[in-house]
Amino acid sequence: GEPSRTLSRDELEAIEPPGHAEADVDFMKGMIHHHAQALRMTALVGKRSTSRDVELLADRIDISQEGEIQLMSDWLTARGEQAPELHRPHGHAHGGGQVLMPGMLTEAQLRRLERAKGAAFDRLFLTFMIRHHEGALTMVQNLYDDGGGLEPDVDAFARHVGADQTIEIVRMRGMLADR
């Protein structure tokens, strides 16, 4: 309702950014578990896929999500929160609960993916990873619905996840349609 104005240096320094909320902590911990499962899925690609584009996609997911796990762990630690510990060889994270986040696969679905090979693996991997990424978008929406995302770092990360996962979903749908 008021016209915009330029703040002085003193006025800017007096403004404290919003602190983090419990919803932020829950989101970051849950997203670490979510990313850990995506890494478990991508680890299967090398020995099961026969498609170079699926292998490249899996490599991209690996690189981005490992970096994001580190970012989320650092964020939690900086705020005195316990970060789930990633166990890459086992394809999961420990700590903060083991509830399936939206879009995560059940153990039965993971075993089904592990048994698939060749073109059948590629189709199943893409189908499951699309679902997995859609779950991440649900988690972002849930963060904001639960009153989180006010802290600038969490908001920026959640927006990044939303944009990145949306782009990859479009790419994967195209790859799946080509099959």
Task: State the Cα–Cα distance between residues 37 and 104, nearest whole angstrom.
Answer: 7
Please report the pLDDT score of residue 177 as a whole number.
Answer: 96
Question: Which secondary-structure segment (H or E) carries 85?
Answer: strand 85-87
- 137-160 burial: b if 16+ Cβ within 10 Å, else e: bebbebbeeeebbebebbbebbee
Tokens 């799946």 label which residue? Answer: 176
Side chain identity at 100, as an amino acid letter? L
Determine the pLDDT at residue 15: 82
Find all residues with CB under 8 Å of 164, minimum gap 6, and list them: 64
Helices 152-177, 52-78: crossing angle, 10 deg rounding: 170
Count how many residues are written for the chain.
Answer: 179
Give the per-residue pLDDT at 12. 80
**Residue ranges of the chain with per-residue pLDDT less than 50:** 96
